[in-house]
Amino acid sequence: MRLLSAFPLLENSLSYFPSFLNFIISSLFPETETLPEVDTEEQVELLRPWKVLVLNDPVNLMSYVVMVFRKVFGYDETQATHHMKEVHELGRSVLWIGEREQAEGYVYQLHRWRLQASLEKDD
């Protein structure tokens, strides 16, 4: 009843319906649920770093690949060119290492730019 003291007219009218009042209060202030505990091995697995790899393809121009690296990762011209040459000469390059969710976002962006990219667990 103290919750409704700011609204005395509402409080007086609802006092005749205690079950309705309890329903309203329980709807507005639900009990908090206890989440199941996550296994520590799962937590460690989720926090393990992931690599974003880009693979060589014969379709895209080198200048296009450099432009994509600059837009997606914010690399400067030198760093983007270095990764592009690494892809061209070695067939792949590690562009970024970090949490899985962000790594998946980078891979998605590279796919949208039509580059071949993948995720790999970091050792």
Give yes or no: residues 66 and 86 share one domain: yes
CATH number, domain with residue 80: 3.30.1390.10
| Diameter of the chain measured on Cα atoms | 81
| Structural domain boundaries enclosing 1 | 1-34
Give yes or no: residues 57 and 97 share one domain: yes
Q: How many domains in the chain?
A: 2
pLDDT at 37: 73
Backbone angles phi, psi at 62, to 5 degrees: -60, -40
Q: What is the pLDDT of residues 65-117, one digit of tens each?
A: 999 999 999 999 999 999 999 999 999 999 999 999 999 999 999 999 999 99
Give yes or no: residues 115 and 60 share one domain: yes
- Contacts with 123 (C-beta within 8 Å, 6 or more apart), sequence order: none
Give yes or no: residues 105 and 53 share one domain: yes
Give yes or no: residues 6 and 30 share one domain: yes
Give yes or no: residues 29 and 47 share one domain: no
pLDDT at 103: 96
Q: What is the CA radius of gyration of the chain?
A: 27
| Residue appearing with tokens 């006092």 | 15
**pLDDT higher than threshold 70 for residue 6:** no
